[in-house]
């Protein structure tokens, strides 16, 4: 929730440094990283709070049981989509740590057991050249949190279909 203030601080420093000092190389890319973090970690939170956007054209008039069926179906689609995103995020994070093989989950398992080693780490092609693995790790964390929240919503929908109060 407070991530937006971090983003504002970075952009404020960018404006001040460009006006009064030498322009900072890191501000634009750091603002992009802060916005990705804010967005990725805000998704699970918004689902938890029930503040995600729904198309209320039909949904608002449905019974609780019909809403639970619709939510159950859509959350299953979301879980599938997040599974594909997680696979891509883990593959991308493994690549950013210098792994060029086809089994990124085994690579991370090998890092934990000491079988694998970190290779040449991927860096951004900008003048600042930060390492990219931290933002990719945040993406994995955000996707995992979203999957957990979707699983929670799925179980709540199942309870609603059984007629239990939540």
CB 14 within 8 A of CB 24: yes
Q: Which of 6, 90, 81 is nearest to 42 (CA)?
A: 6
pLDDT of residue 155: 94
Query: CA-CA distance, 72 to 67, in Å (whole number)?
Result: 8
The residue extents of the domains of the chain are: 3-161
- Condensed to tens digits (0 to 9), the pLDDT of residues 80-120 reads 999 999 999 999 999 999 888 888 888 888 888 888 888 88
CB 131 within 8 A of CB 123: yes
pLDDT of residue 139: 95
pLDDT of residue 82: 96
Q: What is the pTM of this model?
A: 0.85
Helix (H) or strand (E) holding 28: helix 27-49
Average pLDDT over residues 127-140: 92
Average pLDDT over residues 140-155: 95
Which ranges in 50-132 belong to alpha helices (H)?
56-59, 64-96, 104-113
pLDDT of residue 84: 96
- Condensed to tens digits (0 to 9), the pLDDT of residues 21-64 reads 887 888 889 999 999 999 999 889 888 888 777 777 888 888 88
129 torsion bin: left (phi>0), alpha (psi -120 to 50), beta (else)? left
pLDDT of residue 49: 87
pLDDT of residue 147: 96
Average pLDDT over residues 121-146: 92
Average pLDDT over residues 12-18: 90
């Amino acid at each position: 929730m407070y991530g937006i203030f971090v983003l504002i601080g970075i952009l404020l420093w960018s404006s001040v440094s460009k006006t009064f000092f030498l322009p900072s190389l890191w501000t634009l890319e750091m603002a992009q990283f802060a916005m990705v973090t804010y967005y990725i970690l805000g998704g699970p939170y918004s689902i938890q709070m029930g503040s995600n956007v729904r198309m209320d054209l039909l949904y608002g008039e449905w019974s609780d049981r019909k809403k639970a069926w619709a939510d159950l179906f859509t959350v299953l689609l979301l879980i599938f989509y997040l599974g594909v995103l997680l696979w891509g995020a883990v593959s991308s994070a493994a690549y950013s740590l210098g792994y060029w093989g086809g089994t990124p989950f085994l690579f991370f398992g090998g890092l934990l057991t000491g079988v694998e080693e970190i290779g040449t780490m991927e860096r951004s092609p900008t003048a600042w050249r930060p390492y990219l693995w931290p933002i990719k790790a945040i993406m994995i964390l955000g996707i995992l949190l979203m999957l957990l929240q979707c699983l929670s919503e799925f179980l709540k929908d199942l309870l609603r279909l059984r007629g239990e109060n939540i």
